[in-house]
Amino acid sequence: MEIKYIEKVKKAFEMVHTKKPLVHHITNYVTVNDCANITLAIGASPIMADDIREVEAITSISSALVLNIGTLNERTVQAMLAAGEKANKLEIPVVFDPVGAGASELRNRTTEQILEKVQLSVLRGNMSEIRFIAGLEASTKGVDASDADINSGLAAGCSISETIAKKYGCVAAITGETDIVSDGQHTLLLENGTKLLSGITGTGCMCTSLIGSFCGATEDFLVAAAGGILCMGIAGEAAAEKVGKEGSGSLHKAIIDSVSNMNAEIFTKRAKIHEA
């Protein structure tokens, strides 16, 4: 089963490089530059447009739309909803990153609006964010998952991801020490990565951008989600091996370098993926 999915991810990766999809981001200003650079590194093309007067036009020419609620305001909420609805009309995949869902009323309300009004292709979040969306008890630490939620167990995570996927008709991805990706029928466990990634702002946002890049190149959104997450995990490992002892600044740069140097052989050698 592992070999089958690695081959599918490798094919999707090659399609990203062939198609060079335009990925429209309405994302947060803390990590916007990182998201743009990681999108370029994987072989796609980023565009960031959040004004309500142009989001529909930019979405219309894009191959995928990424919505990220890391730094919210009422203006961008309306832009996200307009872009999401336009993407749905044009059958353009939408990837949603509910950053900090559960932490404030604004984030909670916005998450509910997006889930209600926009058909998602992939929903990616940490365990606290996804538990909140599932209606379960969650104790978020701002934009990070709490230790209590992280330690809720792999079996519980698989069940939650499957339930969310079925409820919203999308691929649900929970990123953590072991990443869980489900379309409601098939659930994949991904085991690449390093704890050092948690010490750098934006690795989750960049992971979502990588998923968006894959979604812009393949209609298999389970594979797209797995591909984006594997890219980040493998890149984190490679960066840690190269400069991990030098500090988080060097690691940050090395992650983008590692993604830009990613190839099919590296996937074959390093990807750790199997079906639950």
Other beta carbons within 10 Å of 124: 30
Q: Which residues are annotated as a binding site for ATP?
A: 124, 175
The sheet with strand 122-125 has its strands ordered as 45-48, 22-26, 64-68, 94-97, 122-125, 171-174, 179-182, 187-190, 273-275
What structural domains does the chain harbor?
2-275 (3.40.1190.20)
* Placement of tokens 């701002």 in the chain: 142
For every one of its 276 residues, what pLDDT tens digit does the chain have, with 9 covering 90 and above?
477 899 999 999 999 999 999 999 999 999 999 999 999 999 999 999 999 999 999 999 999 999 999 999 999 999 999 999 999 999 999 999 999 999 899 999 999 999 999 999 999 999 989 999 998 865 555 444 444 445 557 888 999 999 999 999 999 999 999 999 999 999 999 999 999 998 898 999 999 999 999 999 999 999 999 999 999 999 999 999 999 889 999 999 999 999 999 998 998 899 999 998
**First-to-last C-alpha distance (Å) of the chain:** 10
Provide the pLDDT for residue 38: 98
Report residue 187: phi and psi, to 5°.
-125, 125
Strand 122-125, strand 94-97: pairing: parallel
* Spatial separation of the C-alpha atoms in residues 210 and 231, rounded to whole Å: 8
Pair of tokens at residue 217:
């190149």
Distance CA 71, CA 86 (A): 22
The values of phi and psi at residue 80, to 5°, are -65, -45
pLDDT score, position 2: 72
Which residues are known binding-site members for substrate? 48, 202
Model confidence, pTM = 0.94
| pLDDT on residue 218 | 97
Identify whether the C-beta of residue 99 lies closer than 8 Å to the C-beta of residue 69.
yes
Q: What residues form DSSP beta bridges with 181? A: 173, 188
The secondary structure of 161-187 as a DSSP string is HHHHHHHHTSEEEE-SSSEEEE-SS-E
Do 225 and 57 contact (CB within 8 A), yes or no?
no
Q: What does the alpha-carbon distance between residue 222 and residue 236 come to, in Å, rounded to a whole number? A: 21
- Please report, in range form, the residues annotated as the binding site: 48, 124, 175, 202
Q: What is the pLDDT of residue 137?
A: 61
pLDDT digits (tens, 9 = 90+) for 228-263: 999 999 999 999 999 988 999 999 999 999 999 999
Strand 22-26 versus strand 45-48 pairing type:
parallel
